[in-house]
A and B are shown apart, each in its own frame.
Chain A
């Protein structure tokens, strides 16, 4: 196996140095090397969005990014959203709208929603559905997820 190397990056605003093999994905390194298990694995080939994180402001499937690629970047994961003051407005909205059932896709949806609202604070329903189409949910039928994103957008505007 190829030699491991040290990757210097920022995760949720904290500088992180991690030893990882070149073949390891960002998803694997987050979960296995850094114990950030909030980022979920659903397919490992970029089709389901459960492992969505925000990389330098853009939502990405962390299973499609090699860990060595995030050298010098800024990574945001679900663990960085809530603060000591409480939940993030998107997390509150997902709870309030009952926008989850089993919850395995929820961290990915929340990160995709954050990326959307960071860019567009008052998306239409069509824009929400288009933007979140890379995140699969098998439980909810998406209706309550869309309602939650609408609530979060309204909350962010207030």
Chain B
């Protein structure tokens, strides 16, 4: 068992940073984000503008050309029960697994 490095945290999508992302992370370290003890979270008011201010994204024409072609099917895959029957594994995720995020906000 390991005692975690105090400077580490659980990070989503955090593997193999490139030089660019590493530089961003170093910059972020100066801001010293990180985590407090589990179970002590305060609710946070909305911090993020919806996809507005930081947006700045434009869609390449190539993608626009495929709008109709790649409309996804009516399949309910993303609301489907976990893998279970197909994978041969048993059980399912925790009781909250099927629920949408309860509430909250997000900043980028």
Do they bind each other?
no
